[in-house]
Amino acid sequence: MPRAKGGPKTRARRKKRIKLASGQYGGKSRLFRSATESVDKGLTYAYTGRKNRKRDFRQLWIARISAGVRAQGLTYGRFINALKKANVLLDRKVLSDMAIKDSAGFEKLCGLAKQHLTPAAV
Chain centroid offset of residue 33 CA: 32
Find out whether 66 and 95 touch, Cβ atoms under 8 Å.
no
pLDDT at 122: 53
In which region does residue 42 sit, left (phi positive, over 0), alpha (psi from -120 to 50) or beta (all else)? alpha
pLDDT at 1: 80
Q: Give me the pLDDT at residue 7, please.
A: 87
As a whole number of angstroms, the distance between CA 121 and CA 93 comes to 25
Please give the pLDDT value at position 121. Answer: 52
Please indicate, yes or no, whether the overall pTM of this predicted structure exceeds 0.95. Answer: no
- The pLDDT score that the predictor gives to residue 112 is 93
Q: What is the pLDDT of residue 40?
A: 96
Segments of the chain scoring below 50 in pLDDT: none
Q: What domains does the chain contain, in order, with CATH numbers?
A: 9-116 (1.10.1900.20)
**Exposed/middle/buried for residue 29 (C-beta within 10 Å: 0-12, 13-18, 19+):** middle
